[in-house]
Structures are given as C-alpha cells and as structure tokens.
Chains A and B, each alone.
Chain A
C-alpha cells in the first residue's frame, strides 16, 4: 500500500470527489486521517501500490492537489537509540532493529493527528512535518 495526501481547496471541498474517484476506478482506498472543514483540508489515503498512478491522475484531473507526504522527520544524528518512543506508537511504526537501533517506518506513521512520540524523545530528534495547508487562515 502507498500513501498519498489529497489536498482540497475551499472551491472543491464541497464536491464528493473522493467517492467519485472510488466509483469510477473501482479501486478501494483506506482513509488514514482526515483534517478537513468547509474551507478545505487534507485527507491521507492508502492505495494499493499497483494502482497509485491511476488514482493520483484521477484526483489531479478533478483539481485535487496530490502529494506523497513525508509525515515525520527523524534526525539520526540526534537520536541515540534509547527507544523512549517505541511503546507510544499506536500503529507500530517504530521498531527495534536486531542491533537495537530504532527504526521508523515512515510508510506506517500517521503523522500529525498523532504525534505521541514527539515530546517523549529525550534527544528531541523527532519532528512532525506540517503538511502545507492552503494559505487561507
């Protein structure tokens, strides 16, 4: 599964674009997180890898900005592999390697709606990547 971030604007947020794409393509998608209101917002979806290109194209045609998001940034120079973050991750995106290195699976991490690990890091090595929103405030 691949993750793509759909960004809706105030102009197109009222339209049922996601449903339309699913119906047109017949491809199942899993909504991971959604931060959205009448002024627009983001939906993070998981799509089967083989269909990603088709899905991205379909959304872009309908005026949705599609990106492959980086949700979390780990500074490996700062991290000293204590593992303080490990037990806080609700989606098991943080694992110990064989040599007890801490490994972040960026594909599994759900990013800013969670962020439980960020303030638990004594090395302050983890930052959430703020997804660029529409400029309106």
Chain B
C-alpha cells in the first residue's frame, strides 16, 4: 500500500466477536475524542487527564489483543507526555496531531475496521504492529518516511474521508448521524445566544465561543461527509475572522437559520432537501459579499504557530525544504518509538524541556514582514483591480465545485484565475503573491489531471489560498496608497506548506489554528514574578511527580511566587483564553434515550405507590412494632427521594426557549421598525422537558402581540416621554411548586373600552354587560378565538388567532394565564404552570360512590353554601352568590352521570374552579383530601375523555380520575343535550 498521506486505509476486523470488543474500545475512543476537544493545550492537568485516558485505552486494547488500537494509544500517551514536558514546541500543532489521531482511530472503529499504522500523523511516531500478517507494515517500511525519526510538518491523515455518496445524501451510519444531530441542535441554540450577545455589544467571549462552535460544527460535519454544512460553517468562521465588529448580523443569523434547516432536513430524511441546498449558495454569497467585498478566511495565527518543527527529508517540498535546525531532542523519542521500547514510559523526562520551538529556518530566505513595491504604480493598480476580478470568479466557481466536484469547467476556471494572477504578479515582482498563486495552481493542476480528488478539505485549502491572496493584494493596494511598502501576511508560510503538502498527497488539511490561551507560566514570567528557567524546571518536576497538580500550586508550594500573583495570573489567563472559561461551565452529562427516561420515571411512580400501599396496609397497621415503623419510615424516605429525583430528572433550563424569543424579538423589531430591548430574567429556571416545546408557541404569540400592538412606534413613545426603544421582558421563576413565566412590555397597554366595543361589535357580549364586567373579565375577551382589535391584519398578527392559541396551549399544560395592563404603561401576561406534566397537586373529592381529582391549580376555593346563596334562574340553571359575585353552579353528578350523590346543595360542597379567568361553582359531595398525584394517560385513543385529563393510581390501588376543568365547563355549557350526544360519541 502506497503511503501518501491520504492513507487512512484499514483492515477489516476479522471475527464477529471483535465487534463487541470494538464497541467497548469505541466508547473509550469517543471519550478520548471528547476530552481532546475540551482540553487546553497548555494545561497540564488537562493533558494529564488525556494521558490517563490513553493509558486506559491502551490497557483495554492490550487486554483484547487489538494491537492496532493499543499501539496508537501507546503512541498517543508518549506524545502526551512530550506535550506535558513541553517538548513538542508548538502546542497547537501537537494538540492537532493528537486530535487528528484520535479522529482516525474513531473513524476506523466506527466503520468496524482497524486503523493502519501509516494512517497516523508521523509526529505521533506510532510503532509498528502486524496488521493482517504484517504485510502492511512491511510495505510501509519500504516507503514511509514516518519511521525515520523525522518530524514532518504536522502531516496528518485526513480525518475527513471523501463522502462517496450522492450529493447531499448522507453516507455515515445512522447512529453517528443521530448523535451528530442531537449535538448540533444544542450547539445551534448556543450559537443563537452568542449571536444575540454579539449583536448587543462587541462581546469578545461570545465571539470566541461562536467561532469555536462554528468550528466544531465544521469539524463534525466534515467528519460525517456533510460537506454543505461544513462549508457554510467554514464560510461563517472565515467571515468572522476577516471582518471586525460590528458584523453583518443578518448574514450570521441567516447562517444559523440555514444550519437549523439543514439539521432538521437531516433529521427527517437524512439528506438535505433541494430547497435547503439551493438556499445554501445564497447564504454563502451573502456571507462572502459582506463588508467591502473582501470575502476572507485565513489563518490568523502568528508565524510561530505555523508548523514549527522543521521538515527534514520530507519528499522534496519546494518551500520548507531541508531544515538543518531540527531539534536534536526530537530525534531521540522518535528513534525510541521506532525501536519500540516496549510499553515503558518514554525516556522523555531525561531530556531538557525545549519549550520554545527552535527557530524555523526558511527555505529560500528569511521572509520579511514587508515587501517593496518596485513595479510601476499604474501597472500595480491595474493588477489590483484585475486580480480582484479573477479571484472573485475563482471564488464563485469554487462554490460551484463544492456541490459538483466533477465540474471540469469550474476547475479549469479556478485554475486559470490562479495562473493569471501568478503570471502578472511575477511580472510585477510581487513575490509573495506569485508564490502562493503558483503553489495553489500546482495543486489545482493535479485536480485537473485527476491526480487529486477535490475533497472538501482541498476546497477549503483553495479557499484559504484565495482569501490570503485577496488580503495580500489588499495589502499591496494599501502600500501603494501610502509608502510603497506592502505588508506580508502572517499565515502565508503555513498556508504554503499546507498547499504543498496537499499537492504531494499529504492532506493534512489542517484548519487554521485559533489562538491559544496564554500559559500560566508565561504570564508569570511576563509579569516578572518569576524567572523563566524556574517555571520550566517546575513544569518538568510537576509533570514527573504529579501530573494532576497545577503549575500554580507547585510554584506556591515552593514559595517561588505568592498565591496572589498566581491568582492575578489565572485571572489574566481566563480573560485572554475564552476556552478556559468554557471548560469550567461544562457539566458532565450523559445522553439518555427519552423513552428509557420515561420508563424510569414511571417505575419510580410505581415504587412510590407500592410504598404507599405497604405503609397503609391494614395488616401491617395492626403490628405495633417500633422496628417495623423505622423500616417503613426508611422506605418512605428513600422512595420520596427517588420521586423527587424523578421529577427533576426531566427538568431543563428555560434558557433555550428564551433565546428563541430573543431572536424573535430581534427579527420582529427589524420588521416593524421599532427598536426594542429584550431582557430576560431567570433563564436558568428549570422546567419539564415536555413543556419546552409546548410553551414556545404561546410565548411567540404573546411576543408578537406585544411588538405589533403593544409597543408604540418610536415617535409616539417620544411624545409620551418614554424611551424610544421599547422593552420586552421575559421572566421565569419558581414559586409555590409552580413555574411562573411573565411576558411584559412597556407599550400602550390594553384599551379596555376598545376591547369591549369590539366585543360588542362582534356580538360576543351585550352592551349592557359592561357594568357587570371587571377589567379582568374584559381582558379575558382577547383570548376568545377570532377576536382582534387590530384595525389591520399585519404580517405579524391581527387575525385573532394568537391569543386563542395561548389560552388553549396553556390550559393543555394545566396552567393559567393572567393579564394585567395599564394604559400607556404596558401589558403583562402572567403564566402559571405546574412544575411538571407528570405530577399535580390534586384535590380529591367524592361524588356518590365515585371519586374525582381536581387540580389544585384550578381550584379557587371551596365552600359549603347556605340556602340563601343559591339562586335558581329559570332556564339558566343555578347560580351561587359568592360575596356578591354570581357564579354559575354545576352539579358534578349530573355532568358525569354519577348516581347516589347528594341532591341538596346545602349538604354538599361547592368547589369554585377557574379556567381562563372564568369562575364556576361545581357541586360535589365532600372533600376527601389533598394529595400529590402522578398523572397517567387514560389509555385513550379508544374513547373520548372530554372533561378528564388523565388518571392517577390512588393509595388503595384503584384508579382515580383527574378532572379537566376547561373540558368540564365546556360540557356544562353544552347542556343536557350535549351530554347525551357526547356520551354516544
């Protein structure tokens, strides 16, 4: 097997039994992969953690005799040790090697294959093993440069395999895709948050997070062969890098929306719909065409982060050719690994820590940071405008190539563009430009001659080259306008190397590296707290003795610095390195199948019931034993605790929903030309997972209403002496076992008289009812279907559907919504929901022989009425006078057809229930008690259960029925005829 970097070839696992083991290994590799992504290259503790994981993996693999995993794991361990010792020089590059290798392992295992030694980056110095009888290894030896102890400049095998599938279709396996989608959904939510934060202010942390999130999406998508997704996230990433604050937020939001659509497409059909695919180009175009027409992406890394270890006998790259300054120390571990000194720890500790990379010798010359513009000015000016045309065209064609890599015309076009630019640049003595154009042209030539496949990484690379060229030419222009000296670009060297590497088939395709947080030691040295040599010595010692120990701790212990200095340095580090902040926030999580969770919660419910039945068992109650009581008490405690856990297990913070609302407010505010500040409180308030989707709809409607009808236009607000920007506030909190969500605006408020007039007009109320109706009553009118006071139906609202939806959804959640509003001061909707969907506080009542449960949330009060409180209205039924208010009175026994109930109301109990702001009295025989109950489905689908929302297992083991107050009132209103007809249906 030829060794070019594009290897990644794999041998099939032989036995079936291997599959089970593979799963085990896979799990570890996945964990390792996750840890790699989280680890900060400079953090010794993180690295030590990785080391431990590698060791575990190695042991596991050795136990299972999977050499193909054990050896790389061992090599990874060695590599990590070197990183800890600071011997690898460029940490970012070292980290990249690490994560590339883990990706290779992961990719191979996920295909049920074993990785081959040559698949791994040479830097890793993977030892030999005999895969498939050793032939592979032998072949490798003959040709491979990797075991010569030479450090190739970060040459890694591609993590991305070309997706062989049809366009847009998904090739990887379903499980991976599922996991990917779940992850991306969460990530998109995060992205939305970052975007919103960025829109408000130039939030560095949010920018960093955003870029990281985009980058991760790109990586994951590339890994799965979802080139479109990878492409767009890449484009967004590049845009962020090239542009500066303020960004074109519309474009970024468009990216996020497109991603969301793509994810949904993938989730539903495992492929992108044509509509999504075609909108991709638009989004990309908008991104690329943003500020001053400089589509851009390029490594922003400093020259030092370009592959630092020099290239030795790498197959004759024109640029970074022989590098005499290759650190001698680096040779040693390589040799050691090549000789495969069993599994003993590397003798690395013995070597002097070489923390700073050796100065990189340039191939041709020491490249200057600036270059002189020697050619004729007018020629240069022509070149600038002409090359821009070429590059723009190349960019457009490259985009086309992403979707159809076989488009020869497009390849030729891109090739010609680079060729032309190279030609003119050479003529004008623009060496840097010429060089880059030339090398990229070489790469494209190979593509043209079908020697190299145009995989997404290659396209990315060409894009990068394009962007860098654009910037170089931009620099030429700037130089031309000023002093005739043009700046070079810092990423040029690295890019050249990668382009050449790719041309030689070593598709490292390393993405440009982000900045790394500064090391604690560096900060300390900079601040003058301690000598560099001291730090280096301590680092070495710590790594040897106790890798988990932090450098700061060690330094303080040795009294080399004061704790104060360390603290100051840590703060500084945190503020500079956004990744440090992120890592702290991360909680350990485990994704669990929702169904399994449901099952667990249901079982807990059953256990609690079983416990209740045992403790109330009559036989047991007769046993008077203190010991038994104690045991029962214990049992009760445990089952209570379990129940509590069960209810909290499904709780998720409301922040995701709030974030969606923030986005909505933002969009609506644009559309309606009303500046609006969005404020949210209590984002961390947790609510039942099942609520998350259900509560979003009502919130959307309320917010639309607030923007469209509530908040006045800026001019009007100014007149009223309010700030021009409106304000919408979302607030969530827990209180009294319920979740409260407020939506408040500072707009015009509800116009009571106008609502009433409109209601009269629509014949919803009679004009003479006005005196009898409280403000609250009138507010409730807006919840009626079809009711709208809007003079105009706008794009956003006015059809009178929204508030009806609000009420319906909220009562479906067994919640309540209240309105308070003050003219010209604003409106506030107050939603109260039970804590979870699965549990309610129930009021158990008896009617005849039957028992029913009323949700306590719906009950206003209960009272035993006296004779004079009851009035009978002919034809309108009974009314109860409650402190001056006349409430309709319904008898539960008649509504539900229960025999044997008390007929005399004064012997019975009136339960006043409320729904949608309307109160009615329900007559029941007596109140049995109040208890928390687990709501269960009545097994419906087979019959109509209007008036009931579910069932609950009672302490005696029978089923109790939970009353749905809204349904009950509607039955009551329907009258006797309704009862009969509905009973038949």
**Same complex:** no
